[in-house]
Chains A and B, each alone.
Chain A
Amino acid sequence: DAGVIQSPRHEVTEMGQEVTLRCKPISGHNSLFWYRQTMMRGLELLIYFNNNVPIDDSGMPEDRFSAKMPNASFSTLKIQPSEPRDSAVYFCASSLVAIRGSPLHFGNGTRLTVT
């Protein structure tokens, strides 16, 4: 089991640039989550997909953030334009059947720094 795979591991970019984070969930998992972690706010849910369909994006902070899941094995989180306050660790996580009876499995995260 390869686990949830995220790329890149680290991203440093300048304010105003577009940033794309990538995630490959565990094969067979049908739920995918994007979380953001900061010292101030802890782990916050940004968006949740079930069977590739966005179910809840109420945690997406602004229109600058968008997420897609074109198929069961790939998802992206895009920030355009990026701002320094977007600096955080972004985690992708997957589970089977929207958690019920199945814990969330996290990727190793992407550490984003926006200067």
Chain B
Amino acid sequence: EDKVVQSPLSLVVHEGDTVTLNCSYEVTNFRSLLWYKQEKKAPTFLFMLTSSGIEKKSGRLSSILDKKELFSILNITATQTGDSAVYLCAVENDYKLSFGAGTTVTVRA
């Protein structure tokens, strides 16, 4: 069975801190790994990663994939209170996305 494990489950930081979120996976027929941000409503797409070692960046967020060690990290630098959310990692297998339990990030002013 496909498995996606995120760590830590939650963390609390202060504005300006850097956050690193982890996602490890076991899946057959891996196609891609995706990161989503979920605030009070629907998950919103952040990144899609398909190749090892290529960093994707969007503003203060960045992510990288290691297909040999089967994990990905999501970094958030200079955190702001608006970064408070649940960050979900998902792995695509054929057509299906399997989600991790998420990491709850709380950024305090």
Question: What residues of chain A have their CB less than 8 Å away from a CB belonging to chain B?
Answer: 4, 31, 33, 42-43, 45, 48, 50, 55-56, 91, 98-101, 103-109
Contacts and interface: CB of A to CB of B under 8 A. Distances in A.
Interface string B68-105: 00000000000000000000101010111111111000
Contacts, number: 48
A108 B41 contact: yes
Interface string B9-44: 000000000000000000000011010000001111
Contact of B95 (A91, A99, A103, A109): A99
Contacts of A50: 95
A21 B75 CA distance: 36
B61 interface: no
26 contacts: A4-B42, A42-B102, A43-B43, A43-B90, A45-B96, A48-B95, A50-B95, A91-B42, A91-B43, A98-B94, A98-B95, A99-B32, A99-B92, A100-B92, A101-B48, A103-B34, A103-B45, A103-B48, A104-B45, A104-B90, A104-B97, A106-B43, A107-B42, A108-B41, A109-B41, A109-B42
Q: Is the interface of B mostly helix, strand, loop or mixed?
A: strand
Contact of B45 (A4, A105, A107, A108): A105
A107 B101 CA distance: 19
A45 B44 CA distance: 17
Contacts of A103: 34, 45, 48
A43 B88 contact: yes
B42 A106 contact: yes
Contacts of A4: 42
